[in-house]
Amino acid sequence: MILNEMKEGQTGRIVRLLTEGARNRRLCEMGFLPGTVFIVTHRAPLGSPMAISVRGYEVIVGADDAGKVEVEIV
Amino acid sequence: MKAFHGCCDSEKVIGSVSPKYQEKKADSIHVMLAGNPNCGKSTLFNRLCNLNVRTGNYPGVTVSRHVGSYGDRIQIIDLPGIYSLNSASTDELVASTELLDNDAELIVNVIDATSLERSLYLTLELKMLGAPMVVLLNMWDEVKKRNISIDLEKLSKMLDADIIPISAASGEGLNAFEDYLRNVKWGVVEPVYLGSDRIVRELSAVADVTPNLYKSHALFYAKSAVLGDSCPEALTKDEKWLAAVETAKNNIASGFDTIYQAMASDRYDYVDRIISECVAGGAQAAEGRKKSGLSAKIDAVVLNRYMAFPIFILIMCAVYYISVSWLGSIATDWANDTLFGEEIIPAVTGTMTSLGASEWLTSLVSDGVVGGVGAVLGFVPQMIILFFLLSVLEECGYMTRAAFILDRIFNSFGLSGRAFIPYLIGSGCGVPALMTARTLGSESERRVTLFTTTMIPCSAKLPVIITMAGAVFNDFLVFDIFGTEFRMFAPVMYLSAVFIVILSAIILSKFSQFKSSASSLMLELPDYHRPMLRVVVLSIWQRVKGYIFKAGRIIFPCVTILWLVSHIGYVAEDGRFEMLDDSDTDNSLVADLVRPVSGVFAPLGFDDYRASVAVITGLVAKEAIVSTMAVFVGVDEPEEPEDDASDEELAESEEQTNAFYTAIKNRMFHVDELGIKGVLAAFAFVIFNLFTIPCVAAVGVLRKEIGSSRLFWIAIAYQLGLSYGIAMVVYQFGLVFAGVAPFSLWTGISIAFLLVIAYILFIKKAPATEQSISFEFVKD
């Protein structure tokens, strides 16, 4: 499953990052690492972006990044 | 050494806020504040140095370093917030460069203690720099309130750094930190990598073969090289070192998808260990939602799928309706009509006359200086209202929420939702808005924002809109709804600005300099805060102070010179200069000088030299447009209504009261002679001035922020061309539709202009998307 497909309020676990280079690095540094558990706290009214609660903080993730993260529902 | 003084006896603290406060002194001790965006560094900095740099409750408020002095020997340097020392946007690059220059004698790592896990990632990176470090656990009051228990001793041991809990906002714990500063051991410490032995081994292998010259930073360079970051050039030519880096990279990355993941995982593993050992309840407690309950509840409403947009629109309308139309105009009317019109100007005139000053000197002072400067100062109460509302918005934490809900819409014209922040700030002042563009994620996005932010009416353009609305558009765009009059001119101008910004963003996205993928939004959502009165008041004062000082430094000399050149004429037959009457500015020097070029604006309808002078002074400062009008049209005494006047006559006289407005209407735009033609010209005048190049201050910042001089000139040409074109279209089409002028050459040119825009919008294809994101770093 891709992060983009998750619904508001669902909890997931990151399986794999499908990005490369600078984008991959940024996601890693923000703590989006395989095994990390997170909650989709909000989806914007127009579908994207989404707000994600991860590692004790809440961050907005844009559609193009959210489309490149493989996740599983917990 | 001189004793230090704390914030509590703040009058003793020596803070300098001179324009040169960006300068670092070589003989001082440098203390650098480093930390994540929005962790409270600037608030702490303001308290320590008794300064007032911009703060706000959203990531990316600080975009360049601020230097303040603390006591005689210590300089404190406030850096933009960063998540790591590799940096994607210009503001982060400022921080990284500064830290890597490494003349920090002490790094103060400010941490949001309510999200320890997120913050410690940077702490571990800073440990590799080899400078003494102290960790300040900020927002400690919030930690206590949420019953989070953190074992400070253990944390200090695991990080091998001193820990001081503080609350920068309330000032709690600052004394302990100041004690610490007094007793700190300055010097160098051994850089360490806190993480697994595996990585330590690999990085040490690289560090071991590092040439002696770079030994002190061997560990940091090893880490940078492994991640592909830039390193000193001499190092990259060292074969032995390069080979070691390659080996380390392969070893570290094995078993992971990417090297970044390998490095980040290792660091987060160590952070997780710290959390589970130092925070009561351990990792499990930290994992769930740490957000404060109230913030989550507010977000459930504010970010709700159906409520988000109505709430956003309501907030925006409220801010601008209150500051521009309702309360703002009450304040301005009072200041202009009552305070200046009825009190100050007559008083000044009276005093001057009674002192026996000559008539022209009286006129210079009362009409020129007091009238011109007063025309600007009259807007101060309104400005206070606008800045109050803007700073509440900035402080409370709504900015990132707005970025969140607008992101998708902004995407459709090549921007990310984050660009909303500079535009909103731009409605206060363009200068900080242009600087905020630094925080945007991609170069193309920055450029589009730099090109267009200053088209949003700033607080200095507000006087222009209000004055013109009162002078010319009183009878237009006024709607009567349920017996209440709604004057729509100002709202319509603000909406046009939004429309033109969007139009520009789409036009620009069709050219290769601006087209790359809109950066993906990665923005932390901060908790809501109740705006602190102290911060709000200080920030209003700071901005209004700037506006008032500008009235003294720029508007005052401007109007004095203008009054002189508009009241002195050259008499050709005598070959000498002479003073002119108030109403005789047609024969003045400025008229002689400007009249030949004012034809440039003939296609826009306002070819009166007075209007052209206003445009020119507007390039110095937009509010000077209003001052110029005041100088030219003078402020005649309103006619006293006669005692036996009927109600109707009284009402008429009421309208006559504002002689200033009438004078602008008839002398500058000749509405009495030209009728609708003059009104259209006045409309074109407003449009041109709102959307053309901003004031000199903003142009200077634009030049610096945009990086290349070619792009800068393109920006200037674009702003001039677009504003001219739109004003022309409005005027020329208006003439034809109103039936006051036949189809002319200029109508044709206007149609051509529209066709070009239409071609770019609908037919021209956008260039292929470039994935590469490059930055031209602008050094201060």
pLDDT of amino acid B434: 94
Q: Outline where B5-73 has alpha helix (H).
A: 41-49
Decide if B662 touches A, using CB distance below 8 A.
no
Which of B515, B510, B518, B411 lies closest to B765, judged by CA? B510
pLDDT of amino acid B130: 83
Q: Which of residues 748-777 of B touch A (CB under 8 A)?
A: 773
> How far apart, in whole angstroms, are the C-alpha atoms of residue B378 and residue B630?
12
Q: Is residue B776 part of a domain?
A: no
Q: How many CB pairs under 8 A join A and B?
A: 138
Same domain, B235 and B93: no
Q: Is residue B261 part of a domain?
A: yes
Chain A residue at shortest CA distance from B405: A44
Q: Is residue B586 part of a domain?
A: no
Ranges of residues in chain A with a pLDDT under 70 are: none
Which of B59, B197, B258, B111 lies closest to A28, judged by CA? B258
Single out the residue in B183, B216, B234 at which a domain terminates. B183
pLDDT of amino acid B637: 44
Q: Tell me the pairing of strands B162-165 and B133-138.
A: parallel
B-chain residues near A63 (CB < 8 A): 408, 411, 520
Same domain, B257 and B315: no
Q: Does B522 sit within 8 Å of A42, measured CB to CB?
A: no
- The residue among B58, B439, B525 with the most chain A CBs within 10 A of its CB, best to mutate, is B525
Same domain, B29 and B165: yes
B-chain residues near A23 (CB < 8 A): 520
Q: Does B261 sit within 8 Å of A46, measured CB to CB?
A: no
Q: Is residue B641 part of a domain?
A: no
Q: Does B308 sit within 8 Å of A44, measured CB to CB?
A: yes
Indicate which CATH number applies to the domain containing B144.
3.40.50.300
> How many alpha carbons fall within 13 Å on the CB side of residue B180?
20
Q: Select the residue of A53, A58, A65 nearest B520 (Cβ to Cβ).
A: A65
Element holding A53 (H helix, E strand)? strand A50-54
Please give, rounded to a whole number of angstroms, the shortest distance from the CA of B122 to a CA of chain A.
9
> How far apart, in whole angstroms, are the C-alpha atoms of residue B553 and residue B734?
39
Task: Name the one residue in this structure whose structure tokens are 């009165």.
Answer: B533
Which two tokens mark B219?
């560990």
- The residue among B114, B139, B260 with the most chain A CBs within 10 A of its CB, best to mutate, is B260
Please give, rounded to a whole number of angstroms, the shortest distance from the CA of B187 to a CA of chain A.
30
The residues with which B172 forms a beta bridge, in sequence order, are B167
Q: Tell me the pairing of strands A11-17 and A37-43.
A: antiparallel
A-chain residues near B116 (CB < 8 A): 56
In the three-class reduction of DSSP (H, G, I as helix; E, B as strand; rest coil), residue B383 is classed as helix
Same domain, B140 and B217: no
Q: For residue B694, is the peptide bond before it cis, meaning its omega torsion is within 30 degrees of 0?
A: no
Same domain, B151 and B261: no
Single out the residue in B136, B153, B183 at which a domain terminates. B183
Chain A residue at shortest CA distance from B59: A59
Which of B643, B606, B645, B611 lies closest to B628, judged by CA? B611
Q: Select the residue of B84, B257, B309 nearest A29 (Cβ to Cβ).
A: B84
Q: Select the residue of A34, A48, A57 nearest B524 (Cβ to Cβ).
A: A57
pTM of the model as a whole:
0.87
Task: Classify burial at B518, counting beta carbons within 10 Å of its beta carbon; exposed 0-12, middle 13-18, buried 19 or more.
Answer: buried
State yes or no: ipTM above 0.90. yes
Sequence-ordered list of residues with C-beta below 8 angstroms from that of B384, at least 6 positions apart, any chain: B331, B540, B544
Q: Is residue B344 part of a domain?
A: yes
B-chain residues near A37 (CB < 8 A): 287
Please give, rounded to a whole number of angstroms, the shortest distance from the CA of B143 to a CA of chain A.
13
A-chain residues near B265 (CB < 8 A): 28, 33-34
A-chain residues near B525 (CB < 8 A): 51, 58-60
Rounded to the nearest 5 degrees, what angle is found at the Cα of B737, between the Cα atoms of B732 and B742?
A: 65
Ranges of residues in chain B with a pLDDT under 50 are: 1-21, 282-289, 636-642, 645, 650, 652-653, 655-657, 770-780
Same domain, B378 and B490: yes
Q: Is residue B688 part of a domain?
A: no
Residue range B755-780, pLDDT digits in tens: 999 999 988 887 765 444 333 333 33
Same domain, B155 and B238: no
Same domain, B80 and B161: yes
A-chain residues near B409 (CB < 8 A): 46
Same domain, B165 and B47: yes
pLDDT of amino acid B518: 54
Same domain, B321 and B412: yes
Q: Is residue B222 part of a domain?
A: yes
Chain A residue at shortest CA distance from B774: A22
pLDDT of amino acid B129: 86
Q: What's the number of domains chain B is made of?
A: 3
Please give, rounded to a whole number of angstroms, the shortest distance from the CA of B177 to a CA of chain A.
26
> How far apart, in whole angstroms, are the C-alpha atoms of residue B60 and residue B44?
16
Single out the residue in B263, B290, B317 at which a domain terminates. B290
Same domain, B85 and B224: no
pLDDT of amino acid B84: 87
Quick one: three-class SS letters along B633-689?
HCCCCCCCCCCCCCHHHHHHHHHHHCHHHHHHHHHHCCHHHHCHHHHHHHHHHHHHH
pLDDT of amino acid B772: 40
Q: Select the residue of B258, B291, B308 nearest A53 (Cβ to Cβ).
A: B291
Please give, rounded to a whole number of angstroms, the shortest distance from the CA of A33 to a CA of chain B.
7
Sequence-ordered list of residues with C-beta below 8 angstroms from that of B435, at least 6 positions apart, any chain: B63, B64, B701, B705
Q: Select the residue of B117, B309, B525 nearest A51 (Cβ to Cβ).
A: B525
Residue B277, domain extent: 197-290
Contact (CB, 8 A) for A37 and B287: yes
What's the Cα-to-Cα distance from B428 to each of B80, B278, B392, B540, rounded to whole Å?
22, 45, 13, 11
Same domain, B385 and B281: no
Q: Does A37 sit within 8 Å of B287, measured CB to CB?
A: yes
Contact (CB, 8 A) for B295 and B114: no
Domains of chain A as residue ranges with CATH: 3-73 (2.30.30.90)
Q: Does A41 sit within 8 Å of B117, measured CB to CB?
A: no
Q: Is residue B780 part of a domain?
A: no
Q: Select the residue of A42, A58, A65 nearest B524 (Cβ to Cβ).
A: A58
Please give, rounded to a whole number of angstroms, the shortest distance from the CA of A6 to a CA of chain B.
15
Which pairs with CB-CB distance under 8 Å and at least 24 residues apart come from B747-753?
A: B749/B603, B750/B725, B753/B725, B753/B728, B753/B729
Decide if B409 touches A, using CB distance below 8 A.
yes
- The residue among B520, B528, B772 with the most chain A CBs within 10 A of its CB, best to mutate, is B520
